[in-house]
Structure 1
Amino acid sequence: MRMLCVIPVRGGSKGIPGKNRRLVAGKPLLVWTIEQALAAQPKMDVLVSTDDEQLADIARSAGAQVPWLRPAYLAEDTTATEPVVEHAIAAYTAEGKRPDAVMLLQVTSPVRLEGTLDRAIQQFVASGVDSMVGAVPQTPFLWQYGADEHDQPRAHFTIGARPRRQELDRTQLFYRETGSLYVTSTEIYEHEHNRLGGKIGIFEMDDLEGVDIDTELDLSIADHQLTQLHRDTANATSAASAGPTDKDSAQ
């Protein structure tokens, strides 16, 4: 299966100016997603679609393909993501490299564990779904207003038989879309112009991977989590290369 990874990133950001090139855990925010995509197995073409030359330079330096700058009409504040992906599909198709599916990765959700993208590709291929959405599990302890004419709040669980978290099974959980990743067959984009359509699957992600950066606080949380993950990975690699300790050898 030929899979194209599209990473859309604009130069403008009203909430956090220059967000996508801000340093997070020692790297520009954009770079984290590029490196994760390049490390995925099986290999994908990794395309960054941007309207910003500085972000394009950062992306190229990180190893991503940036064959063109995104047209201005696809880089407005109100531009949806789907036309951006379809623009990329059309460009690759014109070069004789039409993908079978597209993995859409959003830079604002940079925390992805090692192996997550590999697992997503494997699940998409094995499950036979047409599209797949990354999500983190949530308990059903949710309330909602406007459930009746008196605007009384309603619980999404049985109040008189409140289950323990450990007793919940997957049919009792809700799944929150993280915005981190989507995998979609090319035909869905071409015919439905949406990242989700046809037979839809849920790709379950770890709670740690649920960060979505909209505020400075979110940026700080992502910085902390990525720093910790990088440190843990480095320590594990160092321990593995050091070999067994004397105590381990004696056992």
Structure 2
Amino acid sequence: MKKVLWLITARSGSKSIPDKNIKILGNQPLISYRIQTARNTQISSDIWVSTDSEKYAQIAKEYGAEIPFLRPDYLATDEASSVNVVLHAMDYAFSLDKKYDFIGLLEPTSPFVKSLDLEKAIDLLDKNENASSIVATRESRPNRIFIQKEDDYLSELADNLKLYTKLGRQSFGKEITPSGGFYISKWDDFIKTKSFYTEKTLSYLLDDISGLEIDEPLDWQFAEFIINNIVSK
């Protein structure tokens, strides 16, 4: 059976929402949703949390994650890349002589991704010999035709809207963007490319709720609305 290492990254020190990764959403800390989702898959896996905080580590343990190490300071800055955080965890796995087929990065800020989505993503990646990775996406709104670089005048937008009046919204093709829901790579491919994004990265399209990523206070308020009015129903 193929095995995956789920790595949940939970650095302390969020600025937009203080202590966002352990802030209570519904009746439990935000990080717990990703731990529970990973635990509820039918995939052979280990679930590690990479954090620089003893407090975060203790909370993660209470919800069933492993904390094999505390993240070193140089990987806990605003400038530290998620790729280096992932490689650090993979190196640690090597030091323990643990072997995996896939590495999956899960960020606490996407609490509504379903276990079934993780299972389907792994299955799609496993069955595609040419693919190196798979990334969660969502439909991008608005379409690029409604966007221009910041300027005093909306000259580009005006030109685009002339085309829009002729075509109609239904004529636009669907555009997608990464949702932050998950990033999964074949283990050996990530070691080679050091990226979840290659020419052989598959897209896994999530619905609007599963694709929610909490970055700003307004996103948090929307997540609370979902918890109270949709997920709990």
TM-score range, shorter chain: 0.7 to 0.9
Aligned to 2:203: 202
* C-alpha distance after superposition, 1:222-250 (max 9, x if no partner): 12213444423xxxxxxxxxxxxxxxxxx
Amino acid at match of 1:152: E
Aligned to 1:13: 14
Q: Which has the larger radius of gyration?
A: 1
Change (3 A) 1:92 1:227: farther
Assess if the C-alpha contact under 8 Å between 1:11 and 1:20 holds in 2. Answer: yes
Assess if the C-alpha contact under 8 Å between 1:140 and 1:173 holds in 2. Answer: no
Three-state SS of the structure 1 residue aligned to 2:44 is coil
- CA–CA separation in structure 2 for the residues paired with 1:2 and 1:220: 36
Assess if the C-alpha contact under 8 Å between 1:139 and 1:173 holds in 2. Answer: no
Aligned to 1:116: 117
134-143 vs 75-84, which moves further: 134-143
Amino acid at match of 2:88: H
Q: Does 1:152 align with 2:160?
A: no
What RMSD over aligned residues (CA atoms) do the two structures have, in Å? 2.3
Aligned to 2:167: 161
* C-alpha distance after superposition, 1:66-114 (max 9, x if no partner): 0110111111111010001001111112212132211111111111235
Q: How many residues matched?
A: 224
119-128 vs 28-37, which moves further: 119-128
Change (3 A) 1:201 1:155: farther
Aligned to 1:131: 133
* C-alpha distance after superposition, 1:119-176 (max 9, x if no partner): 2222221233101110112467432336xxx952354995322253xx87xxx21112
Three-state SS of the structure 2 residue aligned to 1:180 is strand
Alpha-carbon deviation of 1:211? 1.6
Equivalences for residues 48-59 of structure 1 within 5 A:
48-59=49-60
Aligned to 1:248: none
> Identity over aligned residues, as a percent?
28
Structure 2 unaligned segments of length 5 or more: list them.
Answer: none
- CA–CA separation in structure 2 for the residues paired with 1:156 and 1:133: 32
Structure-2-length-normalised TM-score: 0.87
Structure 1 unaligned segments of length 5 or more: list them.
Answer: 233-251
Structure-1-length-normalised TM-score: 0.81
